[in-house]
Chains A and B, each alone.
Chain A
Amino acid sequence: MYAWIFRHLPGPLWLRIVFALVLVAVALVLMVQFLFPWMSHFTQFTDSTIGSADKP
C-alpha cells in the first residue's frame, strides 16, 4: 500500500521523498487535532471529577 503510494508520487526520487514526508506530517497533524482527542474519550484515566464528569 505504502509502496504503491510512493510509486504514484510525481517527480524524481528526492521530490517523492519530500512529498512522502509532507504526507506523514499531514497525517500527524490530523491525528493530534482530531483523532487523538476523540480517542481520549475512551480512556478512563483522565476523569478527575466527583460524580458526573460532564456536570458544568
Chain B
Amino acid sequence: MVLQEKAVRPAAPAPRRAFLRGTVQVVGELLITAGIILLLFVAWQLWWTNVESDARQSQVIKEFAQDLAAPATTEPAPVASAPPAGAEDFGKPVVGTAPGHAGTIGIMYIPRFGPGYTRPIVQGTSQDVLDTLGLGHYSNTAMPGAVGNFAVAGHRQTHGAVLDNIHTLVPGDKIYVQTKDGFYVYVFRNNQIVLPSRTDVLEPVPTQPGVTPTESYLTMTSCNPRFGAEERIIAYALLDSWRPASAGPPAEIAAQVAAATGRS
C-alpha cells in the first residue's frame, strides 16, 4: 500500500510547500463536504422527514383501527343495522378519558385538505409526538366533545406537514374527529395569526381567560409563515354534532373512515 501511494503521488517539490498544499487541499475538501452535508440536511428536513412521518402515522392509524375492531366484534348487531332516518340527535357527546403520553386519542379527517386526509391525534405536544406521531393534543386542554377547548398542534412543514393547508380552511368546513367512542363533527369558524407566546388561545374559551365555557371548541395551532416560526396560525372550530361509534361514521366521510380503519 505504501509503495502504491508513492507511485501515484506526484513528485513533491520542497517539503514545506507540499505540506502547505496538502493542508489547503484538506481544508478545501472539508469545506466542500460541509456544503454537501448542509444541502443533504435541507433535503432531509423538507422531504425525508415527511416520508418517515407519513409511514409512522399510517402505522399509528392502523394500530388504532385494530383497537377499534377488537371491541366491535362483541356487539356486531347494532353496528350493522342502519340508524333510522331523522334520528340524528344522539344527546350529549361521550367524552373519553385522556390516554397517557403518546397514546392515540383518535383520527382527524379534514375533507378540505383532500379526500385522503387522515391523521392520528396523539396525546402530548412534545417533539417526539409532533415529529413522528401526528397531531399532538395539548394534554392540559379538554378531550374531544367536552365543553371547553380541545386543542391540538401540528407541523406546517416537515415531519408529515400535517397542517400544511391550515390557511385554506373556509368558514363552515367540517372537521371530523374519530375516537373509540364515536365521531365528533366540528365546524371551522376562523383563523387567527398570533405570536408564539399567546397561550390564551388554549383557554377553555379561546382568547378569553377566566370565562366559563358553554360550548365545545376545537383549536389547532401550527407555525406561520409556512417555512418559518415567527408566528403561529390558529384555527378555531365549534362542535356541531356527534355520533356514537355504534351509529357508524357520518355519511360524508364514510369512505375515508372505511379506507383508514379498514371497516365502515
With contacts A10-B1, A43-B45 taken as known, whether A49 is within 8 angstroms of B29 at the C-beta atoms is no
B139 within 8 A of A: yes
On chain A, which size bracket covers the interface?
20 to 34
Is there an interface contact between A45 and B223, defined as CB atoms closer than 8 Å? yes
B185 within 8 A of A: no
A26 within 8 A of B: no
Is there an interface contact between B153 and A48, defined as CB atoms closer than 8 Å? yes
- State in angstroms the CA–CA spacing of A2 and B194 once bound together: 50
- State in angstroms the CA–CA spacing of A35 and B225 once bound together: 26
Is there an interface contact between A1 and B25, defined as CB atoms closer than 8 Å? yes
Instruction: Give the number of residue pairs across the A-B interface with Cβ within 8 Å.
Output: 96
With contacts A49-B130, A53-B125, A56-B124 taken as known, whether A32 is within 8 angstroms of B44 at the C-beta atoms is yes
Q: Mark A1-24, 1 if CB is under 8 A from B, else 0.
A: 110000110100000000000000
Q: Mark A41-54, 1 if CB is under 8 A from B, else 0.
A: 00111111111011
B191 within 8 A of A: no
B119 within 8 A of A: no
Complex contacts, A53 vs chain B, CB 8 Å: 125-127
Complex contacts, A28 vs chain B, CB 8 Å: 40
- CB A48 to nearest CB in B, in angstroms, measures 5
Is there an interface contact between B1 and A55, defined as CB atoms closer than 8 Å? no
- State in angstroms the CA–CA spacing of A6 and B222 once bound together: 47
Interface centre among B1, B5, B44 (most CB of A within 10 A): B44
B175 within 8 A of A: no
- CB B133 to nearest CB in A, in angstroms, measures 13
Q: Please pick, from B41, B48, B126, B155, the residue contacting A46 in the complex, using a CB distance under 8 A.
A: B155
Q: B9: nearest residue on chain A (CB-CB)?
A: A7
- CB B245 to nearest CB in A, in angstroms, measures 28
Complex contacts, B37 vs chain A, CB 8 Å: 31, 35
Is there an interface contact between A54 and B127, defined as CB atoms closer than 8 Å? yes
Is there an interface contact between A39 and B41, defined as CB atoms closer than 8 Å? yes
- CB A39 to nearest CB in B, in angstroms, measures 6
- State in angstroms the CA–CA spacing of A35 and B230 once bound together: 25
- CB B3 to nearest CB in A, in angstroms, measures 11
Complex contacts, A50 vs chain B, CB 8 Å: 138, 153, 194, 196-199, 201-202, 221, 232, 234
Binding site for A on B (CB under 8 A): 1, 4-5, 8, 25-26, 29-30, 37, 40-41, 44-45, 48, 101, 124-127, 130-131, 136, 138-139, 153-159, 163, 194, 196-199, 201-202, 221-223, 227-230, 232, 234
13 pairs, A vs B, C-beta closer than 8 Å? A1-B30, A36-B41, A44-B228, A46-B223, A48-B222, A48-B232, A49-B196, A50-B138, A50-B196, A51-B199, A54-B126, A56-B124, A56-B139
